[in-house]
Structure 1
Amino acid sequence: MSPAVVVDAVRTPSGRGKPGGALSGVHPADLLATTLTALLERTGVDPARIDDVIAGCVGQAGDQATNVARTALLTAGYPESVPATTVDRQCGSAQQALHFAAQGVMSGAYDVVVAGGVESMSRVPLGFPGREGKPFAPLAGRYPEGLVGQGVSAEIIAGRWKLGRLELDEFAARSHELAAARAAAGDFAREIVPVGGVTADETIRPGTTAEQLGGLRPSFRDDGLAERFPEIGWHITPGNSSPLTDGASAALVTSEAKAAELGLTPRARLTGFAVTGSDPLLMLTGVIPATQRLLDRTGLTIDDIDAFEVNEAFAPVPLVWARELGVDLAKVNPRGGAIALGHPMGASGTRILATLISHLEATGGRRGVITMCEGGGMANATLVELVR
């Protein structure tokens, strides 16, 4: 099969996903359209050559309803002949869009395709599972004790792996420190597409310390769960969780042969894919088997990978992942993660792709892995190899 390559990957800045946030006044279709337009401007690709646009979005309601990928495509001025679809694999939606795009290219179904995603969490707020409606009600027969939301899952994981509050807050402070340093050095400039007058991530907080974060109250405390989950220490706060975020991202994917034909210079190859289900109660641990499955399929080991991007939905996720797989944290989220850079859920997969490619290029690395925990107990993992 023809290898799939990434010609370019871009993202908007991350805006705080609440009223008054830097991007809260921008319609989500316009956010995604900004990245779709940027790909054309940066690569010079004729949009009529694009076979499909696949975009992730989790909150497909309100301003993000009715196939927001198609709305964004038309907003960006792409020809009406170019189709689009919106996919939902929870937080891994854009990463799944990337997998679908690459697999379509590798199978010969596509020549040129755009993968990306969008989430405006200020306009379509994140609904805590069970707070509005009963999304888990049909599962009562299989899980009679009931499932819980992601925040409580993070608490359970922190408790079972004996992660204390200080360790979580220190990791969160590290995320801000790394991201702030890279932002100050201009290292995000290549991947960020300005939106209006917004040119930098609003979610980074320079100077954040573990001591400061230690003063925040737990977000998900529910003493009614204490008997069921005695291991919970109630350590998850806004400071060691990813913030609600507005943003979009997109990548242009094609085959090596088509890139050569069109005079394009690929930046990376997509050479391995995995997706797995996991315990929906501990829904955030799927990154562990997904990464292992990816390595098994590609015949690689942890030592063959130069950098890992493990989405920081909550601080316990990358910490538990690194512990279970024996990974040095110095190789994990080296430019900061979602705690600092934000987590616009439907867009995070290709946002992380853009950041990883930039890091490998800057450091002379060869291979990187992206993995993302997902609601309902799932995870994707992707192997990215730099084109030299």
Structure 2
Amino acid sequence: MADRIPAPHAAAEDAPPSPLVEEREPLITEHVATMLQDRWHAFRRKSAVRRGLMPTVMSFTGYGTTGWIRVLSRVVMAPDEAFENGRRLAKMVEDGMRGWHNFTSPPVPYALVQITAGGQSFTVRADRGGLVDAVVEIQLEPGWQTVTLQSNGSEPATSDVYIVDDHVVTGVVSDVDDTVVVTYLPRPFLAAWNSFVLDEHARTPTPGMAVMLHRLLEAQPASPVIYLSTGAWNVAQTLSRFLSRNLYPFGPLLLTSWGPTEDRWFRSGMEHKVSQLDRLARDYPGVRWLLIGDDGQHDPEIYADFARRHPDKVRAIVIRQLTPSQAVLAGGRANDPRDTTPGVPWCYGPDGATLSRQLEALGILDAARPEAQPQTWPMTAQLSVVAPEAGHGR
């Protein structure tokens, strides 16, 4: 991961480690898969330099508090005309239409990136895949703020960062695939299909989920909305445009790096979700989370595990039930763990409307206000939108 400038996080309770995360001894020698991947990236990077490509910072949405921010971005080699303000231009068909082109820009490993925010500058370093995931201490006002990113003479790029007010006590974490996006593919092929093949316009939003999320925001103003997925960072901007086009609330995406790690051939999606949830518990010790996912295998288990280890950090768990055909493609349904989390309410339903009614019964949503008004996206986020109608959301 990128260099981390320590921030004054309040310590969460000493929760036991999750049994869902496999404990592994660190390897002394680098995994052969990462060595091969690094050599492949080095070859592509040299080719990119010969073709006149330049380092470019791809900006992602971040989050923080009034005392620190978490900045997310990725440094890749790309033509000057391919990006504007850290986002692929709408005319670049390869990013807007076919996902596999998102993987053709070679990353710049260990690139130095300058972050400018609130009149201050910080220098951080990307990881071996060009990903910047850095926390810096800075005082910013609550709400949407903009930071500027630049690397090795690249054009400056701006990134939206949501600063959570110190008094906020509720947040929303939502899964993506089969939760806010309907898919009809076997799970083993889902990640590859969404990443390499699928036209972003062909993704189908889950009925009623966008309205439910906006109603949650109206009931709990200033709450953060964070999308937690096992998808690759390569498609972050494509997913952001999908969320915008379908009027989902605007919020950070927490994705994974594509490829092997130093000690395994394939990354663990469950481990990614568990570790990010634990991090959010540390980042926002006073926030109770609404955890939203689906019953196609692991979300109920991951959320139940989090609730058992952090019982005061969960306000409710909301699970979208897949249809029988979707459950078959997902490899079956997850076991029902509701009886393992006493005191934590659960909602189960096939769509946002059904789940909303259950949230009304719990007093989390206002039954007298069944509709919600989508909020305007930050100005910098609108620069990455392809279609004119996609300028709504949070």
Q: TM over 0.5, yes or no? A: no
TM-score w.r.t. the length of structure 1 is 0.29
TM-score w.r.t. the length of structure 2 is 0.28
Bigger RCO of structures 1 and 2 (CA < 8 A, at least 6 apart)? 1
> Greater share of strand residues, 1 or 2?
2
